[in-house]
Structure 1
Amino acid sequence: MIDRKTNRDLCGLYHPPTAVESEPLHELSADSGLVVRALATGAIHSIASPDVPVTLYKGTVLEGGPTNLYLRILAGDHVVRWTALLGNPGAAVRFSSDRMTISGAFDQLTYLVTLQLTAMAGWTWMIQLRNDSDAEIACDLVYMQDVGMSNVGNEAYISQYVDHTVLEHPDHGYVLCARQNMPQPGGHPWLMLGCRPGCRSFVTDGFDFYGCEHRVTRRPAALELPVLPSVRRQYEFSACALQSERVLIGAGRDACLDFFAVFQADHPEPTSEHDLERVALEGRYPQRPCVPTEPGSTAVGNLFSEAPLFDSDDLSAEQLSTYWNEPRRHVETDGEGRLLSFFTTGNRHVVLKAKELLQERPTGALLRSGTGLVNAPGILSTTAYMRGVFASHLAVGNLSFNVGLSIRRDPLGVLLAGGIRVFVERDNAFELLGVPSAFENSLNGCRWVYCNDADTIEVRTWAAIDSHAMHVAIRSLRSRRFRIAIGVVMGPPDAEPSLTDVVEVGTRDITLRPLEGSRFGDRNPGAFVRIVPGDLSALSQLGGDELLCPDNVSHGAPCLVMETVEVDSFGLGFTGALTPTAPVPTTSELAARSASAERELARGQDAHASLMSNFDLVDGDPRIARVGTILPWFVQNAVIHMSAAHGLEQYLGAAWGTRDVCQGPTEMLLAFGRSADVREILTVVFANQHTDGGWPQWFMYDNNGDIRAGDSHGDVVFWPLRALCDYVEATGDLALLDDRLPYHDGADTLSETVFEHVSRALSNIRTAFVPDTSLVAYGHGDWNDSLQPADPALARQMVSSWTVGLCYETLTALAAVCRSAGRDASAAELSALGARVRRDFNARLVHDGVVCGFGILADDATTTPLLHPSDTRTGIHHRLLPMIRGIISGIFTPEQAQVHADLISEHLVCPDGARLMDRPPRYDGGRQHIFQRGESATFFGREIGIMYVHAHIRYAQAMACMGRADDLLTALMAMVPVEIGESVPNAVLRQSNAYFSSSDAAFTDRSQADREYGRVKDGSIPAKGGWRIYSSGPGLCVSLVLRHLLGIRRCGDRILFDPVLPKSLDGLSVDWSLAGQRVRFRYAVADRSFGPESICVNGHKLAAERAVHPYRVGGLTVGLDDVMEKLDGGQDEIVVAM
């Protein structure tokens, strides 16, 4: 036992990893260029061609990757037991230049596995089995191979473009072929996998192979099945699993099986039956190796590969009350009445273990330090997951380059060594904390509660509000040793540094320095991440990955490990900065705050309440209660999107999408009266304009501003102008037009007024018009990225009706701003141009009374409509975007608006929301006929699944414009994840406190979606939640509630009251701060659902002016001074009578 009184120096504890005693990665290579990298244990780290990785996941030095072979012992139709053959501790592993052999024994079978690269691009797994018993043994083998074949970093996104096609060979049974439909540097990589003597069944996605319960069992669910599902599933974990035919091995007899792989760097056409010829043509294999006589090195495991998961029990009712004794709201149960989740006071969401094992997307949280919204480069951010990932992807500022701690990548717990993981000692052995009994998420923190008969352990992670710091604290009912593993990156996300290159250990803290040569270090000299243990006397060891290995030898994993003596609590503080002089908490402050979670969480609540101007929905209607519960979370999601741009699935980002930042963040902040923040956003956006008047599709806004898109879609130029108009309308701040700002690509001396920036943008717009029209050419696309034209020639011929509607809306709004600024000539010019846009819109894009999605404009002044009832080319007859923008922009006449609102209701609204089109583009194996991603993506989700929530929010806004209050409320409830089943009966279980960017019909592949799309309309297909948080959608949803449902909007020195509320919400009340004074707004809904009749403040009816609206009776505007004059500082009430 270490003397805790004297052990107070980290330098004395730290033993830097010595030179690795055995080469951590062994390379097998072939003339074809294929390279297999394997660990000393025989586990596969990666397979790569010269152009692309073949594997989806890059394995870790401690774990390898998902690729594996499994030997299963069978009895009748049951799987008795199984073992993994790769990375199996105790097996003997041997390497040569082109092959690896693994030998060992399992359940009276001796095995020899040989991996050999073939002369032509490919590889073979040869498995020899010998029955050492005196009875016959039945067995089979399963080969699991993750497949990516792409250089793109996000594994889920890669998977969405891998086409898995199942062929049947007359001799070898099922043959699985995978083609990457997203073009790579060498073309379209392709892989064929098969088995000799034959493949009996298969799996094409890791979710079907591992299952959600893998998070607690670490046992692939498919291995427990006698026969794999044999269903082609195109989802987000691209993999091929092949089950061999059943093998009977007599006593003392041998059996042999092969799994073969054929790789092609470029397969221009989709997979077809002709590809079966490659089995005979290229599937020639080397001579079967003899049983090796040379001794091999014995594979040694480590805690990540060997330690069991801590067995957390379900909480009893009494235990639940001990931790959460406040009233529970929005209680979620399964079909058997088992508690799954609930909300409680303080914006806390609690998820029970049972739910985490049912939902595909793992429960997670994004946390960030401080309260800055715009231009806050030193933000410390991290990602936590319910499954025991207490902090991962810790970054200082830029999420793509300044990564301090490693990223958790897979959704099912296949790879465990990411971020901060904690092992706890029990009965002289260590167990890994995984899925807890319960997980609590608050706006700036998380809590994990692990309970079983032996102990209760609680872990907390929280972000500081008044400084850039994070904390992780562990507490246990009984004293025990903890071993904490911290994955270190200090560079780009895929960096694997040596600890000696980035770790500096001081007497009281640990400083991590950026990897030499990384952008993190080069752009930020003196940058650092600092780790401070709360109690030095609690530590017994500090080192590298050798502390995870039984042989105490480092294998080069970039992992900092610390071990405690027996303690009942321990904490770590984290801070970081981009410059050595940036203000950060001192070492002593970080150490002291490791026990201040509740205080910091309370500060987080206060900070969010202040941001929301203390907004609170107080109505008793259960629908409004759900909206009130989710709004703080949507605000938190929007703040993450704006200030630390990334999401749970889209874990890299760090850039502002020009289109996105000018919508969700600006509209939400204007709704809350945060005009100074919006002004700052506009300043940054206009300073990133190009001298040609356009903007990039996206740009990084920190000191990595040179990283930006090389082009943009045809609509992007309008969004900064539209946001500028919104800002001026809300604030009356015409002075902004005269502020001088630079251009991103201009000379250092070039600085012009914002109005001159606007003039350049207008010139850019005019040059984009199709000749002889006032219609903007499609260019590189519009809002729907999946519909970029496959034929580059269409970029100048095709027109998006949605973009044209946005053009008209922007020109009209700019004309109004110019009139307010006294720039009458500019206003007249813009109004005239808007009139020409509207004229050409109706002449060229509206056919038979229906707006087309796109128009192909010919030189003879004719138009071929696409995505229109007359369209026979695509088979798609209605597109949502031009219809809703036609209403929102005012380009439609009242009659046109009514017709299109009815068309939307008839053809595009489904139980889970409004869909982008009445059916998806046809899928032809990945061939691109008209559209790029829309015809090459294999996963029916996100934009491809054609229910994107961002567009659905705009649909709801269009219904507000039409005064269709019931449709507006129904649309709003469909995007609220709290008790989602109450609003969307076919909704699949999902995280209840996070924004989902899409609703994905649960078709297994594009073919099923094409055949059975009618099930989306009738709601008979389950609807899953898509990617989370990284979207302008959360901010737009908040704005929808405040500015359209409740209809409260600042207009300079006046307030517009323009609510759209169904009669069922009569009596709705809202508490909100108005110019610093707490006010209750109450709605009396009587005669109609829009166009209020009067505004009364504390019983005093105010003089009001009726606002003009193109499609219905408009709202009322009243003077802000008149409102404030009637407030008395008591129980102030404003009644909006309708």
Structure 2
Amino acid sequence: MNLLDNLIEFKPGKTSYRFLPTGDIFEFNHNGIMLNEFCGNSKDGSPNNIYLRIYKENSIIAHPLLGIRSHSVLKKSDNSLLYTGKIENISYEVIFYAIEGIWFWEVALAGNGETVDLLYGQDIGVASQGGVLTNELYAAQYLGHSVFETENGYTLCSRQNQDQGGVFPYLRQGGIGSKIIHYSTDGMQFFKTSYKDTDIPAALTEDLPDVNYQFEFSYTALQTEKFKLDSLKKVFFYGLAKEDHPEAISTLEFDEEINAAYNSLKKETYVTCPAVTLKAEFGAPYSSPSLSNEKIFSLFPSRTLEEYEKDTLLSFFTKDHSHIVTKEKELRTERPHGTIFITCPDTLQGDAAKEQEEQDQGVMSSTAYMYGLFNGQTVLGNTSFHKLLSTPRGLINIQKNCGQHLYVKLQGTYRLLTLPALFEMGMNYARWYYVIEDDLLSITSYTAAHKPFAVLEVTSLKAKQYDFILTNQLVLGENEHAKDLTYTEIPGGLRFADISTEYPDLHFDMLFTGAQWQAGDDRIFFEDGLSRDDSFLTIKIKETGSFKCIIRGSFTAGQAEVPPSLDFEEEKAAANQYYKQLNRDFQLQTDKEELNARIEILNQTSWWYTHNAMIHFSSPHGLEQPGGAAWGTRDVCQGPMEYFLMTQNYELAGRIILNIFSHQSHSTGEWPQWFMFDRYTMDAGECHGDVVFWPLKCIGDYLEASGDYALLQKEIPYSDEKGQKASLLLHIKRAFEAILERFIGDTGLITYAGGDWDDTLQPVDPILREHLVSSWTVALAFQTLKRLGAALKDIDEEFAKKLTERSEKIAADFESLLIKDDIIPGFVLYDNRDIKYMLHPLDTETGIKYRLLPMTRSIIAELVSPDQAQTNMQTIKKQLKFPDGVHLMSRPARYSGGVSKLFKRAEQAANVGREISLLYTHAHIRYLEACAKIGDGNTAWDSLFTINPIQIQASVPTACLRQSNMYFSSSDGMFMDRYDFAENFDKLKSGSIPVKAGWRLYSSGPGIYLNQLVSNILGIRFLPDSLVLDPVLSDSLDGLKLTYTCFEKEVTFCYRMVKSSNEKEYQNLQSRITVSIGGTPVTGEVLSNPYREGGLKIDRKVLENASNQIDIFVKLP
């Protein structure tokens, strides 16, 4: 039965209240606005509840009053639900009243003098249903809470600050009948990380903290004062929803509506609902006991980069680049440890003549979390529309029906496996270790290296036999419960089809080996044996010590095949070999003990950031950002392109460029902000002002590195003229025509249009699109047009001249119009030659005096003079460099209740995270690039580790614990809300506030980080027939060795840092860079660099017959 057909629903006017048959909330919706955050399920209930807390002499005993977790009898009437029951000697009735835009919970208690209080908890979305279901964490970041005190105690009001189709929804919650004396606003305050271990909200035995914590799990909780049950006591909780609240919340509103509705409440005639009871054989979840260090060491005798907190082992890496996390670390981190594993993308070889139809299918991908989510968002190809299994939701495993989970029968009771003792992650797998008495249960989830298979492998290391139930929440499309789900039986398993109209033959087979199995649904959990949700597939497995569940994806129709023979160790080895080859055998070595940790950090990072980068490229999504399935035009032109050029993967880079240009609009000449790169034609429909430059920058970089000018003659379509094709060169010219239309008057300044790199700074006033100028975009325009002009000078001299002349005009006006008092502004407002400087010391409107991006980009682009470059770097050091890295701006944007006045998201986000936190890791990496450009090797080297998650506390003492093998996109100060952020921002600079890791994995950052390390710090770059050696290293790195494959030959570079104190050798070096191979000096061309002596370009032929070791002597200033 489809779950949606089995709900209890009340529909007063524009409001819909839908409950599960258990009495748990499924969804509250007000005219398209989803008011709750998570859809409950009959097995686990809903995150919301009302708890009766009984105070004993030395303890607090909490009892849920609603839903499957309670022992209530459920009754319903036309407009309300009634929950009744008895706890100890206390009788209770809870009535839910459904009114348009307002709901009430009435709690009536009768006892014998017991001291009690009530806790009310409600997860809240308050955004469009699509927005909440796509990413509840993102929706929460923009849901601003306001707290008021009244005669009834605390009242909480929440406003969705992001436009939801033209409206800004609002929710007010409070209590009547007993004073609300404590509150909280985020689920991490209420449940805490300990919930993953105990399955019990931590708040049930303590007072709520009375802090407005604006994080990513919007969950409002209210705590009444204590009272004695000497007589009948009635307490009410209410919620009032408004579709639109355009203004910021400043006062309590709508009292009259609430009072009128409250006074209209009346009991109705109720009919008892069928009881829904879980079978007694299902017990509490099973969280594994910890393993001793001795046992861990015996399992993993070879360890590196061990992480401890005092004597407690938290995590470590292995020599084969696996990362292992202990239960103790998981319970100390706000974000759960997780990973995404994919089949290896076709990056190492490819046929450029392949038709798009053969290239657009994508990889097999699955997500896993340490808390017992073995597979989730399991897809083949498109990560939004091709889901077999549902997406993990939330941060602490409240929704235990998501994805794939496993029950094991212990002492006659089925227990859901949650936290393991250890969690192991590799390039293509995750593994959980559960201690069960004297046994160790190993559960491995992995993808095959080169075939579209995702495998779950369960093994008792003592060969003990168990009964299991494997649960799977099916989607077969985009979102849960969107359609009726069916499957067919095939030899060895089940087949799931009817998923996509664009890929009509797409299907998944779920196959089982190693044990007897029986397919069923959620009826297995209930006493009455009735099914309530056809999306919940259960597989009962009898008496076995091991079994496999193999998920096979395919885009082509065909007969079902017998389950394949897959060996985990073989697939792991094949995946590791793939990543080793892809990463060009990167390996650093040092003989200096004091450098060992940092060198090993970079060696491990080269593997894991390659893993992260391949997911961003081939299966676009992340841990906190499951939605994706598209390339951001700006993003794909950076991380993937830089990585593939760094590794000389030119054939693939060329294919990417052709794909990007096929999404160019002929009518505008520009690109959408993002686009799906498979058969789906969805795109953003709009773009920021800088986006048009990135594909052109790609071309310039690609031609310079590869020399593949034949690509320019490839014919590709435009996105809006599919039937007609034009050469890549004509596409480039069309983009340049569009750019010319964006210059303001006769200046070299280009309009801001829809924004620039910092997505939070989109202008509110549409007039600013034409008159605001981003100094960063202007610098990028200069860099792009200059590089492209140089690349095309021998191909189309006339066009190349136009590009070069325009870049010269940009350079002249950048210096004359944008630099004021030696400071580059973030923006200028340019209107009839009247210039207003913004994000500059002269700015009196925003309060922001400095912006990072134009200062670094103008150096990277070689746009500013050497003196100005030094001024930029000194300004960054003084104004923007904090202990956790360089910040985007010198102050946060103003926040006034989430209403935008100048910028959109910067003034709307209630959460201090991602770009709002101002330490965006991507921008810090570009700072490294600027450091390398001017020759500051010490700063560049040290700054690599400021943003590296592995043992980060050694570089950033205030850094909180975080997952070590995943790129984090931002460093977020531990501020409660935006007002706290504004008031205490200086604590970030002084290093007196902890900093947390932001969202993980889904970013162009990993590819850019590795490119900076290899190309600009270690200084290994490629031209068509030459190798460029241009290291910018720390003085301390004398003797460092790098193994790297160049022009298909494995080479070891040995760096010799020559100081002036070594007088004889120092004087013998004529240039900053001197190279010898096998003791024989190698001559070459010294390249230009306006800020320092450039690198040395040597002929690649020198490498062909030479030794595998190249000695690079770096003459230090």
Fold equivalence (TM over 0.5): yes
**Alignment equivalent of 2:1093, drawn from 1113, 1119, 1122:** 1113
Match of 2:511 in 1: 532
Q: CA deviation at 1:495?
A: 3.6
Contact 2:183 2:209 survives alignment (8 Å): yes
Q: CA deviation at 1:431?
A: 0.3
Q: CA deviation at 1:186?
A: 5.5
**Alignment equivalent of 1:943, drawn from 907, 915, 928:** 915
Amino acid at match of 2:471: A
Query: In the alignment, is residue 309 of structure 1 matched against residue 278 of structure 2?
Result: no
Match of 1:523 in 2: 502
**Alignment equivalent of 2:406, drawn from 422, 438, 443:** 422
The DSSP-based 3-state class of the residue aligned with 1:737 is helix
What TM-score comes out, normalization by structure 2 length?
0.95
Query: In the alignment, is residue 760 of structure 1 matched against residue 734 of structure 2?
Result: yes
Amino acid at match of 2:610: V
**Alignment equivalent of 2:948, drawn from 949, 965, 976:** 976
Amino acid at match of 1:831: T
Provide, for residues 324-352 of structure 1, a one-character-per-residue CA deviation record: whole Å limited to 9, x for no partner.
122x1111111x32011001121110000
Provide, for residues 969-1018 of structure 1, a one-character-per-residue CA deviation record: whole Å limited to 9, x for no partner.
12111121110111111111000000001101110000000000000101
In structure 2, relative to structure 1, the CA distance for the partners of 1:764 and 1:757 (3 Å cut) is: same
Match of 1:9 in 2: none
Contact 1:91 1:299 survives alignment (8 Å): no
The DSSP-based 3-state class of the residue aligned with 2:181 is strand
Match of 1:7 in 2: none
> Which has the higher mean CA deviation after the structures are superposed, 475-484 or 370-379?
370-379
Match of 1:446 in 2: 430
Amino acid at match of 1:687: S
Provide, for residues 21-49 of structure 1, a one-character-per-residue CA deviation record: whole Å limited to 9, x for no partner.
99631102213x21111111111111001
The DSSP-based 3-state class of the residue aligned with 1:382 is strand
Q: CA deviation at 1:130?
A: 1.4
Q: Distance in 2 between matches of 1:659 and 1:576?
A: 31
Identity score, percent:
33
Q: CA deviation at 1:736?
A: 1.5
Q: Distance in 1 between matches of 2:938 and 2:256?
A: 59
The DSSP-based 3-state class of the residue aligned with 2:465 is strand
Contact 2:373 2:403 survives alignment (8 Å): yes
What TM-score comes out, normalization by structure 1 length?
0.93
In structure 2, relative to structure 1, the CA distance for the partners of 1:556 and 1:822 (3 Å cut) is: closer
Q: Distance in 2 between matches of 1:986 and 1:1041?
A: 25
Q: CA deviation at 1:1038?
A: 0.6
Contact 1:203 1:230 survives alignment (8 Å): yes
Query: In the alignment, is residue 1094 of structure 1 matched against residue 1074 of structure 2?
Result: yes
Q: CA deviation at 1:826?
A: 2.3
Provide, for residues 195-251 of structure 1, a one-character-per-residue CA deviation record: whole Å limited to 9, x for no partner.
1122111010011111011111111111110x210101111011211111212102x
Give the 5 Å matches for 1:565-964: 565-580=542-557, 587-590=561-564, 592-593=565-566, 596-619=567-590, 620=592, 621=595, 622-691=597-666, 692-704=668-680, 706-748=681-723, 750-819=724-793, 821-859=794-832, 861-964=833-936
Q: Distance in 1 between matches of 2:90 and 2:192?
A: 28
In structure 2, relative to structure 1, the CA distance for the partners of 1:854 and 1:377 (3 Å cut) is: same
Amino acid at match of 1:829: K
Provide, for residues 303-324 of structure 1, a one-character-per-residue CA deviation record: whole Å limited to 9, x for no partner.
99x6312131110133213321
Q: Distance in 2 between matches of 1:286 and 1:667?
A: 65
The DSSP-based 3-state class of the residue aligned with 2:711 is helix
Q: CA deviation at 1:274?
A: 4.4
Please provide the CA RMSD for this pair: 2.0
Amino acid at match of 1:38: F
Query: In the alignment, is residue 1125 of structure 1 matched against residue 1105 of structure 2?
Result: yes
Query: In the alignment, is residue 85 of structure 1 matched against residue 56 of structure 2?
Result: no
Q: CA deviation at 1:57?
A: 1.6
Match of 2:356 in 1: none
The DSSP-based 3-state class of the residue aligned with 2:1090 is coil
**Alignment equivalent of 1:1066, drawn from 1038, 1057, 1064:** 1038
Match of 2:152 in 1: 172
Q: CA deviation at 1:136?
A: 1.4
Q: Distance in 2 between matches of 1:676 and 1:294?
A: 69
Give the 5 Å matches for 1:319-330: 319-326=295-302, 328-330=303-305
Match of 2:533 in 1: 556
Amino acid at match of 2:480: D
Give 5+ residue unaligned stretches, structure 2.
Answer: 351-358, 1061-1065
Provide, for residues 713-767 of structure 1, a one-character-per-residue CA deviation record: whole Å limited to 9, x for no partner.
000000011011111111111221222221111151x222211111111101011
Q: CA deviation at 1:280?
A: 5.9
Match of 1:965 in 2: 937
Match of 1:115 in 2: 96
Q: CA deviation at 1:293?
A: 7.6
Amino acid at match of 1:676: E
Amino acid at match of 1:922: R
Amino acid at match of 2:511: V
Q: Distance in 1 between matches of 2:203 and 2:508?
A: 42
Q: CA deviation at 1:1135?
A: 3.4
Q: CA deviation at 1:624?
A: 2.1
The DSSP-based 3-state class of the residue aligned with 2:750 is coil
Give the 5 Å matches for 1:109-148: 109-118=90-99, 120-131=100-111, 135-148=112-125
Amino acid at match of 2:743: F
Contact 1:116 1:123 survives alignment (8 Å): yes
Contact 2:345 2:614 survives alignment (8 Å): no
Match of 1:354 in 2: 328
Q: Distance in 2 between matches of 1:1010 and 1:278?
A: 35
**Alignment equivalent of 1:30, drawn from 6, 9, 12:** 12
Give 5+ residue unaligned stretches, structure 1.
Answer: 1-18, 515-519
Query: In the alignment, is residue 333 of structure 1 matched against residue 308 of structure 2?
Result: yes
Q: CA deviation at 1:783?
A: 0.3
Number of residue pairs the alignment of both structures matches: 1085
Match of 2:188 in 1: 207
Contact 2:1075 2:1110 survives alignment (8 Å): no
Contact 2:343 2:451 survives alignment (8 Å): yes
Amino acid at match of 1:534: T
The DSSP-based 3-state class of the residue aligned with 1:407 is coil
Q: Distance in 1 between matches of 2:1091 and 2:557?
A: 58
Q: Distance in 1 between matches of 2:279 and 2:742?
A: 60
Q: Distance in 1 between matches of 2:864 and 2:958?
A: 34
Amino acid at match of 2:696: L
Match of 2:316 in 1: 342
Provide, for residues 1061-1090 of structure 1, a one-character-per-residue CA deviation record: whole Å limited to 9, x for no partner.
011111110112222322211100113899
Q: Distance in 2 between matches of 1:144 and 1:709?
A: 37
Q: Distance in 1 between matches of 2:413 and 2:852?
A: 59
Contact 2:748 2:809 survives alignment (8 Å): yes
The DSSP-based 3-state class of the residue aligned with 2:906 is helix
Contact 1:203 1:242 survives alignment (8 Å): yes
Q: CA deviation at 1:254?
A: 1.7
In structure 2, relative to structure 1, the CA distance for the partners of 1:898 and 1:186 (3 Å cut) is: closer
The DSSP-based 3-state class of the residue aligned with 2:776 is helix
Provide, for residues 777-828 of structure 1, a one-character-per-residue CA deviation record: whole Å limited to 9, x for no partner.
0010000000000111111010000000000001110111122x24332232
Q: Distance in 2 between matches of 1:231 and 1:56?
A: 20
**Alignment equivalent of 1:479, drawn from 465, 468, 473:** 465
Q: Distance in 1 between matches of 2:273 and 2:714?
A: 73
Contact 1:496 1:558 survives alignment (8 Å): no
> Which has the higher mean CA deviation after the structures are superposed, 77-86 or 241-250?
77-86
**Alignment equivalent of 2:203, drawn from 219, 222, 230:** 222
Q: Distance in 2 between matches of 1:893 and 1:213?
A: 55
Q: CA deviation at 1:662?
A: 0.5
Contact 1:1079 1:1134 survives alignment (8 Å): no
